Structure 1
Amino acid sequence: MRPRLPALAFGAAALWLALAFLPPRTKGFDLAAFGRLPVLHEGRLKPIDTVVRSSLLFLRGKQSVYDGRRRLGPVEWALEAAARPEKADELPAFVIDDPDVLGLLDLERKGRYYSFRQLEPSLAAVAAQAERAESIEPARRSRYQAAVLALHARLDLYRRLRNTLQPAGAADFPAEIALLEKDAPAVARALHEHRHGGRDAKTLQRIMPILERSQLLAEDALFQALPPRVDGGWASVGEGLLQAFESGRTHPGALAYARILKAYRDGDAPRFNEVVARWRAELPAQAAAAAAREAAVSRYDPFGKGMALYLAALLLACASWLFWPEALSRAGTALMGAAFAAHTGGLLARMLVHGRPPVTNLYSSAVFVGWTAVLLGLLFDLRPRKAAGADGARGAATAVASAVGFATLIIAHHLSAGGDTMEMMSAVLDSNFWLTTHVVTITMGYGGCFLAGALAHVFILRGALGFPLDEESGRALERMTYGALCFALFFSFVGTVLGGIWADQSWGRFWGWDPKENGALLIVLWISLILHARATRTAGARGVMALAVLGSALTAFSWFGVNMLGVGLHSYGFMDKAFAWLAAFILSQLAVAALALRLPPSPSRP
């Protein structure tokens, strides 16, 4: 049984990953088909699924909401908001953590989640407080002011979502559009005459309600759901209706979406599925195919599956330190390999969908840092047994690489709550060549630094807790840490130099002592210090490990900390809530490094 454990672990993981490719069974409303419909949002074509998934994450911090009986996914929640707002308003879709904001809303704390109906009486008060907070510089805002602004942004997004495909509360919008279609020629003539001094007041009075509702839809639209007809770009449903007042014809997509929502509101699943399929057939084939690919990636959730497998690999590797060292360490490596396959698949899928290199923003950097660390961990684990060391060292490499992979994907998950993770690039970053060279290489350096620091954690913590590695495993772990540091130095140095060349081309100077540039330089200098201390025997095993742990703290500050400074040319990803987590991480690294002073010196090194 034990010799077959690695194969069984890998086989079970591979089967689980393969079964997830099976399409979901459609019972009733084909929500997946609706979620695959392409729309234009924030300058990028994407499926409705992506828009509403990121919207629910922004509102609630989760990808589902409980209606008292079952959990609704993002697409179903969005349909409720558009077609049955009276029900959606009762769902606890808003996360509120700040006690002072609850006081403003006159609500008692009952969990973290609240419904729009509970917040509705205080909308004016929230808007007034948000207006005051908006006038204050971000760095000077209090916790309460930042929380009020966040709530106001969530409320505004929800309002826009409800008024994108049809006006909130519309009982029979297809009938209204049909009436507009019937009167469209007269409407166009009346408006033309009105602009030229005509007096067809009767027609204008009749069309004024639908004109106002169409303008509301055009102004509040969260996304543009209607493809170009002959020329021009994508349009919102409101803009598609307003075309009737110019040309005498509405966009056919406006009526299609109205019929979809009417069928959903009426509980008519066959009609819903029929209209969705018919409308998808009329969409541009390339846009529909691209949206379907992105929706499939979201449904498969490769990074979520990778997180689960990394956690399982970590547990098996830790268990190998207690019993069955060879079987469990190898089983952990097998699971880490399966997790890495899912991780790699997710990276490749994002590159295919986005048409960009793997790192374009903070979210993708977190994904790629973990991928790099796990790749190194696998290389360490898959070396010949004599080179890799004892099973204790093998288990350590699996444990720390899986831990880094899991942690970075958790970080990425929380970063995704800020919105679309494949947003349009700012002009200075819109270069696939430099994103492939400078950004990717510097991020690989981060991955090497974190893996080296994580390996050092095992060495220090096991020794401090009275469970030191045996001499062979300790030496193997030191060699792995040294290898990770060399890897990190190479990519950090090359990435920093390439960054200077990019800066010279973009801003006209190679080096400007920008905070991000300083952070990259500090990483290179710090790793160089560690390697020189090791080579000159100024630091022994415990000294190298302590310095590697401190390198993790320095890397975290360079990666995230400079974004929180709010200054410099690299502050693309400011995050209000991340400072406490970053500070806690840095303090924990200082504490672990201090523990190294309690370890006995290595018998072969100072």
Structure 2
Amino acid sequence: MKFLLRLVPWFFVALFGAEIVAVMMPKKDGEFHVREFGRLPVLLNGRIQPFDSVARNALLQMRSTGDVPLEEVPSWKFWHHPEKLKASAWLLEVMTRPDIADTRPVFLIHHSDLLGELKLQDKGIEKSGLRYYTFNELKPVYEVIMDQGQKADQVKPEEQTTFQKQVSKLANAVILYRRLKLTLEPEGVEDFSKELAEFQKNLGPVQAAVAASEKGKEFDQEAVRSMAVPVQQFQLMAEAGYALIIPPLNPQAGRDRWQNVGTSLLETFRTGHLHPAVTFLTTIATAYQQQSASQFNEAVDQYQAWLAPNFARELRKGRAEFYYNDVKAFLHSMIIYIFALLLAGGALLTFSVVPNLSETLRRSAFYLVILAWCFHTFGLVFRMALEGRPPVTNLYSSAIFIGWATVVLGLVLERIYRASIGIVVGSVAGFVTLLIAHNLALGGDTMEMLRAVLDTNFWLATHVVVVTLGYASTFVAGLLAILYIFLGLFTPLLSRKIGARPAAEAPTAVTKTPRTAAKMARDPVPATASAGRAVEMDLSKALSKMVYGIVCFATLFSFVGTVLGGIWADQSWGRFWGWDPKENGALLIVLWNALILHARWGGLVRERGLMNLAVFGNVVTSFSWFGVNMLGIGLHSYGFMDAAFKWLMMFIAGQLLIIGDGLLPKSCWQSFSSPTQRLGLPVRWCALLLNVAVMLMGFFFGYNSVLGISALLVFFAFVGTLSLATAMSGTPTAPPAPAPDRRGVTAASS
């Protein structure tokens, strides 16, 4: 049995490792080499990217997914994976076969008032409470959408209602869809290659007619009239075409002088000949439109061969980013993190019941978090290589990096204490931050050009990375504190002993005797020897030490990062400090962490007080990370995000509720109450129900509404009344812990 338990961790590692290897292996193209087409480079948002990225980002903005399902499967059939149209194939359809693309449900509308305004309640496809619509279904209300969108855009973003934001988003999605249609060829053309051949044939007579007209001579009016329709089409493509897909003929004069197809075709009147890239791309479009696989594949290969001599760097960039998109490192890391969390939770729950199983689950979770972190690191480094930048350049990348750093801290804590705590913290933080990053990606390209003031790798690699590490470590301290509160309230685990590895020592061999064997059977975590004596402590003490150490780490990095930011501001804006909201947010983190340390050193708070202060650190950090971007003021303001504001308020309300739980009398905590204190169980469940009620009240009516705030106040009134009643009744509680010295170490522990 013990042998099988030892194999379990390696089974999970092999299982998920095989999944990672499978997604990293190169995949074959189908009959049409759509994947090769998806690798072709274009210029958009100031950077070279493949067609695949254009398609994915467009779908994320319109549909909030990176592909389009080709069949509808009921939600309860979770085991059935429907066939999907990949992003590059969808983009080809939009550009070359719009009649089919118009039948794909790619527009997400989930606002009830907007659906009522457009009279779309009975149309579309519903899945998991969301409704998706095709372009054909939106055509009858196209003018209404555009009109409402224009009205909404006249209102400042921070003053827009939810309806106005949603209709503006829908209008932008429809405009984007129509622009994509005009990227490769005019809409409604059956054989663009044939029409271009006719255009090139008539180009000479038209140029001669124009020259004669300019000299006042007679000219061929019929030839000029024959160009009226093509010119109108080309002008529309030049004005509305989305991506710049035609590279410059002379890259030495400027590698960034890409054009869209319409602009390139209009220049043909001046140059007298078509750009070679236009010829290749129109051949690709016509072949896909006519479903000629051999012609399509040949045209793609020929275009790649034409690009290779002068645009090898762009081709490599397109191929690399396509691979990055295809691997989806962060998505697979999320899956492994959540599975590791389940295993770590099982290890905690079986900590004292089935020690051997608990240790097996803990080791399995530990190895899986390492595996997920390695793949997380792969995605992070790959992204840095694609951008040519340090890890943090915008909100999206900050979420990726904060998650990466918190997992590192969690692994370090787990390596020291071996109690599943570090695994829980690391896996939760890794999953949540990657989920935040996924939602931030719905706004469009996450690798767009940096603002001018941010365009410096030195400060991005110093100030931004250091201050982001301060964010990450503060969140880790808060997560540890949340774990302390929930484990203390609802489990007896905080009073259990765990073995801890001294940081500077390696484990020494322990001679197996009947006595030591019995001890090891009782203790699921092997105790390490220090001068012949096992190092043991309560889980509550271990968590307290973890939080204290992480807060020290957070204070250092937050302070250094803030000072570096001031130096950068002095170089960029001519002043070290300007009381900008972002600067104030960074300062708040430093001050709050310093307050926690001084309160602990001065004996003003003990274990539970330290935990409550650390939980509020999550509120301070979330405001500095996201909140200041929503104020709409200051040099660091990057736009008001209504959806993010709602989730931020939900997060803050949740943290306040957890603090309220942490303020419940110690006699109500399962880890610290005696069996004779029967009031604890109903109080705990009552507090939990109040937590749920407050969160639901805020979700439906708004956390900053009168009802939301009132519900929160009712909960704190409940906590205050209970604490007062407990104090007046003289309910015995556990003796207070001795005050720590300035190092945060109690006399008993020293």
- Matched-pair identity in %: 43
Amino acid corresponding to residue 106 of structure 1 in structure 2: K
Q: Give per-residue Cα distances to partners, 1:280-336, cap 9 Å, x unaligned.
A: 111111110111111111101111111011111111100102232211111101000
Kindly provide the amino acid, as one letter, of the partner of residue 93 in structure 2: E
Contact 1:242 1:250 in 2 (8 A): no
For 1:579 and 1:131, locate their aligned partners in 2 and report how far apart those are by CA, in whole Å. Answer: 24
Shift of 1:410: 0.3
1:465 Cα deviation from its structure 2 partner: 1.6
CA contact (8 A) 1:452 1:549 kept: yes
**Which of 198-207 and 482-491 deviates more?**
198-207
Q: Which amino acid in the other structure matches residue 499 of structure 1?
A: G
**Aligned twin of 2:111:** 98
State the AA in 2 paired with 1:40: L
Q: Deviations over 1:94-145 (max 9, x none)?
A: 0111122212222115521111111111111111122222222222222211
Counterpart in 1 of 2:191? 172
- Following superposition of structure 1 onto structure 2, how do residues 79-90 of structure 1 map, counting pairs within 5 Å? 79-90=92-103
- Closer, same or farther: CA 42–441 of 1 in aligned 2, 3 Å: same
* SS of residue matched to 1:382: helix
User: Secondary structure at the residue paired with 1:3?
Assistant: helix
Match of residue 477 from structure 1: 543
Residue 269 of structure 2 corresponds to residue 242 of structure 1: no
Aligned partner of 1:455: which letter?
L
**What letter is aligned with 1:219?**
E
Report the Cα offset of residue 197 of structure 1.
4.3
Map residues 171-210 of structure 1 onto 2, 5 A cutoff.
171-197=190-216, 199-210=219-230
Deviation string for 1:481-502 (max 9, x for gaps)?
1222122111111110011111
Q: Out of 655, 658, 668, which is 1:589 matched to? A: 655
Instruction: Judge which range, 359-368 or 456-465, deviates more.
Output: 456-465
8 Å CA contact 1:463–1:599 kept in 2: the answer is: no
Q: Secondary structure at the match of 2:29?
A: coil
SS of residue matched to 1:598:
coil
Alignment length (residue pairs): 598
Task: Please state whether the residue corresponding to 2:54 is helix, strand or coil.
Answer: helix
Say which SS state the counterpart of residue 273 (structure 2) adopts: coil
How many angstroms apart in 1 are the aligned matches of 2:100 and 2:642?
A: 32
Name the structure 2 match of 1:374. Answer: 407
Contact 1:542/1:599 (8 A) holds in 2: no
**Deviation at residue 525 of structure 1 after TM alignment:** 0.6
- Tell me how far apart the structure 2 counterparts of residues 97 and 245 of structure 1 sit (CA, whole Å): 47
Which residue, out of 385, 398, 402, partners 2:423?
A: 398
CA RMSD of aligned residues (A): 1.6
Counterpart mapping for 1:107-122 below 5 A? 107-108=120-121, 111=126, 112-122=131-141
Matched, 1:31 2:39: no
Aligned-partner Cα distance in 2 for 1:415–1:63:
14
**1:573 Cα deviation after fit:** 4.5
Answering whether residue 603 of structure 2 is matched by residue 576 of structure 1, we say no
What is the rounded CA distance, in whole Å, between the counterparts of 1:170 and 1:327 in structure 2? Answer: 64
Q: Distance in 2 between matches of 1:191 and 1:67?
A: 50
Structure 1 residue 605, shift from structure 2 partner: 4.3
Instruction: Say which SS state the counterpart of residue 24 (structure 2) adopts.
Output: coil
Residue 297 (str. 1) matches residue 324 (str. 2):
yes
Task: Quote the residue 2:242 is aligned against.
Answer: 222
1:131 aligns with 150
- Is this contact kept in 2: 1:542–1:602, CA < 8 A? no
| 3-state SS of paired residue (2:348) | coil
In the alignment, is residue 73 of structure 1 matched against residue 86 of structure 2?
A: yes
Corresponding position of 1:58: 61
2:618 to 552, 556, 573: 552
**Higher-RCO chain (CA-CA 8 Å, sequence separation at least 6):** 1
Q: Which amino acid aligns with 1:417?
A: L
| Structure 1 residue aligned with 2:304 | 280
Residue in 2 aligned with 1:413? Answer: 438
Gapped regions of structure 2 (runs ≥ 5)? 73-82, 351-356, 498-537, 667-733, 740-750
Q: CA 1:5/1:245 → structure 2, altered by over 3 Å: closer, same or farther?
A: same
Distance in structure 1 (CA, Å) of the matches to 2:211 and 2:545: 81
**Alpha-carbon distance in 2 for matches of 1:464, 1:194:** 90
Distance 1:366-1:195 versus aligned 2 partners, 3 A rule = farther
Match of 1:255 in 2: 279
Question: Match for 1:66: what amino acid?
Answer: P
Is contact 2:157–2:640 with CA below 8 Å preserved after alignment? no
Q: Which amino acid aligns with 1:423?
A: E
> What secondary structure is seen at the aligned counterpart in 2 of 1:529?
helix
Instruction: Describe the superposition over 1:407-466 as per-residue Cα deviations: whole angstroms up to 9, x where unpaired.
Output: 000000010010110000111111111111111111111110111111111110111124
TM-superposed deviation, 1:602: 6.9
2:43 match: secondary structure = strand
Higher mean C-alpha displacement, 137-146 vs 163-172: 137-146
Find the partner of 1:337 among 362, 370, 375.
370
For 1:519, the aligned partner's letter is G
Whole-Å Cα distance in 2 between the matches of residues 333 and 194 of structure 1?
A: 80
2:16 corresponds to 1:13: yes
Query: 5+ residue gaps in structure 1?
Result: none
Larger radius of gyration: 2
Which residue identity does 2:737 align to in structure 1? S
Aligned to 1:306: 333
Q: Is the 8 A contact 1:460 1:599 kept in 2?
A: no
Q: Note closer, same or farther for the CA distance 1:273–1:597 as it changes in structure 2 (3 Å cut).
A: same
The one-letter code of the counterpart of 2:108 is: V
Amino acid at match of 1:588: G
Q: Deviations over 1:372-416 (max 9, x none)?
A: 100111111223xxxx2xx4xx31210111001100000000100
Give the whole-Å Cα distance in 2 for the aligned partners of 1:282 and 1:217.
24
Q: 1:489 corresponds to which residue?
A: 555
In the superposition, the TM-score normalised over structure 2's length comes to 0.78
Tell me how far apart the structure 2 counterparts of residues 223 and 541 of structure 1 sit (CA, whole Å). 57
- CA distance 1:268–1:602, change in 2 (3 Å): farther
Distance (Å, rounded) in 1 between the aligned partners of 2:216 and 2:410:
77
